[in-house]
Amino acid sequence: MSSTTPRRGLQIAVVLTGVFVSSLDLFIVNIAFPDLGRSFPSATLSDLSWVLSAYAITFAALLMPAGRWADRSGRKKAYLSGLVVFTVASAACAAAPSLGLLVAARVLQAIGGAMMLPSSLGLMLPLFPMERRGTAIGLWSAMGGAAAAAGPPIGGLLVEADWRWVFLVNLPIGVATVFLGWWTLREIREESRQVPDALGALVLAGTIAAVVAAIVQGEDWGWGGARVLGLFALGLLGAWYSLRRAFRHPTPVIEPAILRMRAVAFADLATLLFFAGFGAMILASTLFLTEVWHHSVLRAGLEITPGPVMAAVFAVPGGLLTTRYGARVVGLGGSVLFAAGGVWWGVATGGTPDYVADFLPAGIIAGIGSGLVLPSLSGAATLPLPPERFATGTAMLSMCRQVGLALGVAAVAAVLGSRPDVSAFHTTWLFMAACGLAGGATLLAIGAERRPVAAYTLAEARE
């Protein structure tokens, strides 16, 4: 197929639309967080945090099995099936009469997202020649940045009517994309029919949930209490079992052959660390503007927007720079800028609102940093893989993103749960900065690239 055909352009648009919708949901739900608290007044911040964490945990646990299923059963089938589930679950979220049912609907939504996301990059990369796949990574990452830019203002407008509209907005987009995708996308699959590790996925979900619950409830239950220590112990046990199973199951949730590739392993770890800071940033920023400075949700959404706009603007150049100079250099530079934004907020903000001097510059700096980091992480974690493992590698990357987001949200809930004052917000932003720097430092451990991406194979990774 010619690289200039309209059908190819439509295929790319269909894939990127799904990525946009799933990413938009994250930022819209964050901006709706204060209104959720008003709709469910008996819920604590820790309770409400599960609207975000339950999605992230389920998403993380199912990404690898879903990526394997996409590789084997067909990426088009997985992508469109996931989009259908995601759209139906969005309607269920909007109709939820209680916080418990909302969390349950978010779990279903995460199942759809987990089916959709790994197959999206797996469908998109083959549409580009090898030498232009840095551009594909940049476009794919830019959708996350574009969703981040659109999420706060769109969410603010929708929440003005009702928070349920932040979920209803997914319905028309999802339906239209399913029909277009069925017509335009072509199927890509492997010949193998091995069954994904369902038990391993459940154990991983329980492991992450135990650690997140321990962090979220640590302040209320006591960090040295039996329940918190027991949850941490379950997390350690689950992590040990997951790693042990990874080396024994034929299709494990965590694939050792991929992680033996140095660049991929360190890129995935860097992703987890960076997104812990990213998750803390997006939730803490919303709560600070609405709860400390007492701005409306709409105003807060507009005030947050410049940072995500910078992330979207710099994502494609970031992908091109990564192709030319490598993920280590570009990712480290971006992580330093991201951390600088967190330090600015952690030092400059106070109880008296001064948006232009105290908040805006840090948001722009952190946004530029994010735009550089995101394609660096995506490229480092997926480009070394052979084509038949694009979906699986993307799933591993996205799993680390979601685990990081869940840990970041849990950290914010733990810090702000007992004393949501200015100094507590400063702590969350310094946590954001520390995670950003840790992610950049981890990228440095990848080492210099010595040969073309196409030369890597899973067989070499096993040596």
pTM reported for the whole predicted model: 0.79
1 has pLDDT over 50: no
More confident residue, 210 or 137: 210
- Secondary structure letter of residue 291 according to DSSP: I
pLDDT score, position 396? 80
Q: What does the CA dihedral 121, 191, 130, 112 come to, rounded to 10 degrees?
A: 0
More reliable by pLDDT, 195 or 20: 20
Q: pLDDT tens for residues 102-129?
A: 999 999 998 998 888 778 877 887 888 7
Amino acid of residue 112 = G
* CB contact at 8 A, 330 and 322: yes
Q: Measured between alpha carbons, how far is 4 from 9 in angstroms, rounded to an integer?
A: 7
Q: At residue 70, does pLDDT exceed 90?
A: no
Q: Are 125 and 390 in contact (CB under 8 A)?
A: yes
Q: Confidence band (pLDDT; 50, 70, 90) for 281?
A: very high
Asked if 34 and 376 count as a contact pair (C-beta separation under 8 A), the reply is: no
Check residues 70 and 280 and name the one with the higher pLDDT: 280
Q: Considering the chain, what is the average pLDDT of its residues? A: 84
The reported pLDDT for the residue numbered 103 is 94
The tally of CA atoms less than 13 A away on the side-chain side of residue 245 is 19
